Amino acid sequence: MPQGPYSDIVMDHFTNPRNMGEIEDADAIGEVGSPVCGDVMKLYLKIEDERIVDVKFKTFGCGAAIASSSITTELVKGKTLDEALQLSSETVIEALGGLPPAKQHCSVLSEDALKVAIEDYRKRRGQ
């Protein structure tokens, strides 16, 4: 049964986050913060042949921000960089079974962190 405004999926990803932590020798790091709520999200990518082979996150923020980070890592693991760039905040919200309007910015944060990480990777490689 959902707890308050959050779906069971959000609660599951908040209480049992997937891929939490950092990758020491990450090929890319994306860090973004939200002035709206003070959440900070850091995404680490391990990339081989333009494909995300590992992804971890560290998020300082509310349950919706942690759940958004967690599901984003699951959605992009194994994808090519171009496929990962197709990820939208709407996809994150849908995968979470919805987010309350006041928390939808959290899904935008995870989309932005992913884009910043991929930009970081391409800059490092001179692309």
Is residue 35 a contact partner of residue 52, using CB atoms and an 8 Å limit? no
What the block records as the tokens of 105 is 């910015």
Is residue 70 a contact partner of residue 81, using CB atoms and an 8 Å limit? no
Q: Which residues pair with 65 in a beta bridge?
A: none
Rounded Cα–Cα distance for residues 43 and 21 (Å): 9
Residue of 52, 106, 109, 114 with catalytic role: 106
Q: What is the DSSP letter of 41?
A: E
φ/ψ (deg, to 5) at 60: -105, 110
Residue of 9, 23, 29, 37 with catalytic role: 37
37 has catalytic annotation: yes
Q: Which residues have a catalytic role annotated?
A: 37, 106
